[in-house]
Amino acid sequence: MLSVCYPRRKSNKLSQANYPIGRRAGCKRRESNAMKLFKLTIRNILANGLKTWLTVFVLSIAFMLIIFMQGMMQGWDRQAIYDTIKWEIAGGQYWSAAYDPYDPFTLDSAAALIPSELQSADKKKGCWNPY
């Protein structure tokens, strides 16, 4: 049986049914683009040698520093939030009975002395009170 590499050639008048199944003799297998890219990458890495490995090393160090600094910044943000909450409202908030958060005109009349129960609890805990 006759097998031809290019079945659409004008000189060959055989129909498609007469060709054998599978890869025909003399025809090169076409590579996919991914395989070409992989081979080209390997060839360039091996050809450039030290320059390539130096670039890979510097890029890996840069990526590690970026990840480290992002982690450091997120850690500082979380610590700042935690410290702010602990400093401002660590034991909760104690509001006067006359205080109305939705009425700004009652802010002056809502001032009161700290009850003795809260003062004694403050002294037991050893909390620092600036007032």
Structure confidence by residue, pLDDT tens digits, 44-58: 888 888 888 898 899
SS3 129: coil
Q: What is the pLDDT of residue 72?
A: 98
- What ranges do the domains of the chain cover? 1-30, 31-74, 92-131
Average pLDDT over residues 66-88: 92
Cβ atoms of residues 14 and 24 within 8 Å: no
Cβ atoms of residues 112 and 98 within 8 Å: yes
Q: What is the pLDDT of residue 60?
A: 97
Average pLDDT over residues 84-101: 79
Average pLDDT over residues 104-123: 77
Token code pair at residue 23: 């890869």
